[in-house]
Amino acid sequence: MPAEAFPLTAGRLPPARGVRYLCAMADNAAPQPPVEFETHPSRYRHWKLAFEGSIARLSMAVREDGGLRPGYQLKLNSYDLGVDIELADAVQRIRFEHPEVGAVVVDSALQRLFCAGANIFMLASSAHPFKVNFCKFTNETRLAIEDASAHSGIKWIAALNGTASGGGYELALAADEILLIDDGSSAVSLPEVALLGVLPGTGGLTRVVDKRKVRRDLADVFSALPEGVKGKRAVDWRLVDRVIPRSHFDQDVRDRALELAALTDRKADGTARELEPLQPEVTPDRRQYRFVTLDLDAARRLATLTVRAPAEPAGADAFPWHLRAFRELDDALLHLRLNHLDVGTVLLKTVGDPALVLGHDRWLAGRRDWLGREILGQVRRTLKRLDLTAKTLYAVIEPGSCFTGSLFEMALAADRSYLLASEKAATVELSPLSAGALPMSNGLTRLQTRFLHDPAQVERVLAHRGSFAPAAALEAGLVTFAPDAIDWDDELRLALEERASLSPDALTGMEANLRFAGPETLETKIFGRLSAWQNWIFQRPNAVGEKGALALYGRKGQRPEFDWRRT
């Protein structure tokens, strides 16, 4: 299929405005309004969410004029960040608000087209940091779908009623099963290498070989075919699970969804938990939630993220503090990533009664119902979002802090932790949630990752009863430094000044390399390779130069010119 006919993107760039021009202008563009991450099905513009007993149907119906920002059209179900924000919200609401659902069908409201992938005009007109954060968010959303399958008993079917290309096929790859309509033309493809000179940015290549276990040689052929693969060959190559004739496609999809839904351990009579609006109070230098505060110091490129302990003890009818607090933390992290690019260092703080945090942790660890499982999943995914945030993270542990259990995980996620040793010394403490309930992307807990050199130390610190005073915490390896009151201010000041003087690019690479010690998983591969792809290939002339593949995409009669050196 010729490039000009391939439905990868919505609008092609006018000849006078190539991608290189737009990329150059994007990094110097006027400030954009902040991106908001909260939404609700009543405000969806691009998805239709419907329920039929144990099945949810999530249909992609992208509004062409509904881009997050002006300047491009979302034709052919191509997507931008706004489309994915709605998708992420839908995944969350299905988990919490619909305990009766055991299977989700993701399909398209368009005929003969599932999804054309990420909108190229949007990517071309966006600054480089936005592109990187966009790809990171879409990856986290697709991982949330896989997490819902693995931990929530919700199975996902990608019902491809038409061609799925690029990011559209990558969305399908997140599902448990891919069912492709057999109409003689619908195909799946990852055309980025052949048409754009870049790589699939949402885990496509990794999921093809690691998740679907496509043979490497066949994956090589597939990834170089812009027209993709269809029909029986797509099944034989393991790119899809079944191809179904159009005459009974809808019925077969529904039947399979019912079969998968019957396997769930979720409860049809479970009490739904509505995800209430967060409604933070926002000023130029503060974002104030009920349990989380984000303070910004633009002059120092510094942010302080403070989480407050619950105000009441946990109980059978207690307000689920974890759910509210970690949803707020999740929202604050997304705002830091997308709306505060200049912030390089984040101080992680907590305030409140450690005993209350410990009580709520024990309450959550003891729950065996579907809601307890979903709340624990929210905590786990939020902490993963923290791990993957490209900011320097310093935990500051002072008198009045409550770095206990689930909140101590923030300190373990930090690049360094500072514990003030004073007369009214702060302490740190583990809880039942510290023992394995909150793994990182590498499949290990943060304690296991921290003590990779001495696995027995994990058992020793978990066996400790009560809190760790500063000297004990330092000796146990639970904190990095424990200065006394005389040195505290100077040590923190010097640490922050030193960090602010270093290259942000180098720090991002260093921190990402150091945070995930131990085994590699599909998840760590995706994010590790994403950093390399986005920060190298998307800057290379072969992609974004005047004669690069991205710049010339869709321009008839012109072929890209490449630097043929392999490096």
**Is residue 317 over pLDDT 80?**
no
Please indicate, yes or no, whether residues 366 and 483 belong to a single structural domain of this protein: yes
48 forms beta bridges with 59
Please indicate, yes or no, whether residues 30 and 143 belong to a single structural domain of this protein: yes
> Is 34 a member of any domain?
yes
Angle, helices 321-339/128-152, rounded to nearest 10 degrees? 160
**Is residue 16 over pLDDT 50?**
no
Please indicate, yes or no, whether residues 67 and 171 belong to a single structural domain of this protein: yes
Query: Mind listing the pLDDT tens digit for each residue in 464-500?
Result: 999 999 999 999 999 999 999 999 999 999 999 999 9
> Is 59 a member of any domain?
yes
Q: 550 Cβ partners below 8 Å, 6+ apart?
A: 19, 120, 124, 196, 197, 198, 543, 544
Mean pLDDT (whole number) for 185-212: 90
Please indicate, yes or no, whether residues 245 and 314 belong to a single structural domain of this protein: no
Please indicate, yes or no, whether residues 364 and 311 belong to a single structural domain of this protein: yes
Range of the domain at 239: 26-261
DSSP per-residue codes, 153-204: --EEEEEESEEEETHHHHHHHTSSEEEEEESSS-EEE--IIIIISS--SSSH
Please indicate, yes or no, whether residues 217 and 316 belong to a single structural domain of this protein: no
H or E element, residue 350: strand 345-351
Residue type, 273: R
Query: How many domains, the chain?
Result: 2
How far is it, in rounded angstroms, from Cα 384 to Cα 365? 19
Please indicate, yes or no, whether residues 65 and 162 belong to a single structural domain of this protein: yes
**Can you give the pLDDT at residue 8?**
34
> Is 194 a member of any domain?
yes
> Is 466 a member of any domain?
yes
Please indicate, yes or no, whether residues 248 and 333 belong to a single structural domain of this protein: no
How far is it, in rounded angstroms, from Cα 327 to Cα 346? 18
**Can you give the pLDDT at residue 2?**
31
- Of the two residues 539 and 417, the one the predictor is more confident about is 417
**Is residue 10 over pLDDT 50?**
no
Residues 9, 119 contacting (CB under 8 angstroms): yes
Residue 215 tokens, joined = 């043979």
Please indicate, yes or no, whether residues 437 and 488 belong to a single structural domain of this protein: yes
Query: Mind listing the pLDDT tens digit for each residue in 245-258?
Result: 999 999 999 999 99
Please indicate, yes or no, whether residues 68 and 190 belong to a single structural domain of this protein: yes
List the 281-283 sheet strands across, edge first: 281-283, 286-288, 292-297, 302-308, 345-351, 392-397, 416-419
**Can you give the pLDDT at residue 508?**
87
> Is 450 a member of any domain?
yes
Count of C-beta atoms within a 10 Å radius of residue 368:
7
How far is it, in rounded angstroms, from Cα 384 to Cα 378? 10
Return the closest-CA partner of residue 267 out of 153, 389, 100: 100
Mean pLDDT (whole number) for 334-350: 96
Residue 446 tokens, joined = 């943060």
Please indicate, yes or no, whether residues 296 and 252 belong to a single structural domain of this protein: no
Please indicate, yes or no, whether residues 206 and 296 belong to a single structural domain of this protein: no
CATH number of the domain that residue 196 is part of? 3.90.226.10
Give the CA diameter of the chain. 78
How far is it, in rounded angstroms, from Cα 208 to Cα 203? 8
Count of C-beta atoms within a 10 Å radius of residue 166:
28
How far is it, in rounded angstroms, from Cα 443 to Cα 503? 30
**Is residue 13 over pLDDT 70?**
no
